[in-house]
Amino acid sequence: MDDLRGVLLDRRVLLKALRGRPVFERVDLYAAAAKELGCNVVLFSASSIDFKTNSVVGYVPDEQGTFRRTRTPIPKVVHNRSLISRYPFGLKTLRRLARRGVHVFNPVIDHDKYNVHKLLRENASLRPYLPETVALARESWPWFKSRLPGHGEIFLKPRRGSLGWGIVRVRRLRNGLYRYEGSGIVRTGSLRRIWRLALRLRRRRYLLQEGIDLATIDGHRFDLRVPVQRDASGNWRVPGMAAKRSEAHPFLTNIARGGSALKLGDAIRRGIPGADEAAIRRRVEKVALMVAETLAARYPALADIGLDIGLDKTGRPFLIEVNRRDLRIILNEAGEDAVYAELYRNPLAYAGHLAQAG
């Protein structure tokens, strides 16, 4: 099969997507992207790789975009959209592919958010856009007590976690007391009492991060999802961005926690009235590209990430989190259809670039 490019997916996600079940992958957009680029694409999972025959049993779209189960050679270039590297079997599979000369791009970066933060801080140009962050430890008490009274709020985040699970907010109340809220617990008390409560999270490895005075819409805070991808030329680009607004949860904007998606322009007009939308876009894009380039210096095979970037009430951007596997659905829910389609096209185009480069 000529010009075959692969997409490695988790088996459960792949099968659900092929059945039209609601998951974060759209197989029809992979088919459309391959047709537009004039290449072939095979979607497969790690368990379908047969190293004895150097082949995979995967799913290939026909001219009408209908996927057929078929056996193909192992593609020479593969976009890793799976989470298999979390498991010994997955790591072994990726190593075997590499030994056979298969270029698998978009590796898992360090799962530890604090380590990622420290890596990004090595870039002096990025530091103004990174909220101050320290590891949760007994020795962090001086930092905690000096930041919280004047700053307003601090977040406790699992160093390994996603979708907003396990995040706790600590904030000062008007009566001078402090409130701890998150993970089903709400407590009010003195700063020392709240600190003792926070220390219980040490065994689960947490970090402390200064809160950003995020812009709000009708009292609901919002931040941005900013995808950054390599394109057909191998260059980093920001295809677009969208806003996420907290709804069901008092401080989390994650769609998985009841947040809603909206176009960036709408969010800026409603949340930062009078702000220069084009200027904010440029600043956000600048930060996003710096993050991607800094990470790629450590992880050269990186090619597709999603960033959570907050805007304060003046429109200044701050990096909140790096997502190695961008769920993409936020752009779709915000009505950014053209950008959403491009998120599927860019990695396949980049795969072609890698194939030509050898």
Q: How far apart are CA 298 and CA 69, in angstroms?
A: 37
Written as six digits, the tokens of 317 are 């951007």
Q: How far apart are CA 266 and CA 284, in angstroms?
A: 16
**Average pLDDT value for residue range 98-111:** 90
| Closest CA relative to residue 109, chosen from 315, 288, 291 | 291
**Residue keyed to tokens 């190695």:** 324
pLDDT at 31 over 80: yes
Alpha carbon of residue 144 to chain centroid:
27
pLDDT in tens, 109-153: 888 899 999 999 999 999 999 999 999 999 999 999 888 766 679
pLDDT of residue 304: 96
**Mean pLDDT of all residues belonging to the chain:** 92
pLDDT in tens, 256-302: 666 789 999 999 999 999 999 999 999 999 999 999 999 999 999 99
pLDDT of residue 151: 60
Task: Quote the DSSP letter at residue 196.
Answer: H
pLDDT band, residue 160 (cuts 50/70/90): confident
Q: How far apart are CA 165 and CA 183, in angstroms?
A: 8
Q: How far apart are CA 263 and CA 340, in angstroms?
A: 12
Q: How far apart are CA 267 and CA 305, in angstroms?
A: 22
pLDDT at 248 over 70: no
Mutual angle of helices 141-151 and 191-199, in 10-degree steps: 130
Under a CB-based contact definition with an 8 Å cutoff, are residues 70 and 87 in contact? no
Question: What share of the chain in percent tops pLDDT 70?
Answer: 96
pLDDT of residue 150: 64
pLDDT in tens, 338-349: 999 999 999 999
Question: What share of the chain in percent tops pLDDT 90?
Answer: 72
Q: How far apart are CA 1 and CA 288, in angstroms?
A: 37
pLDDT at 154 over 70: yes
Q: E-assigned strands of the chain? A: 4-8, 40-44, 49-50, 55-61, 67-73, 77-80, 103-105, 133-135, 153-158, 168-172, 178-182, 185-189, 206-210, 216-217, 220-230, 236-237, 242-245, 260-263, 304-311, 317-323
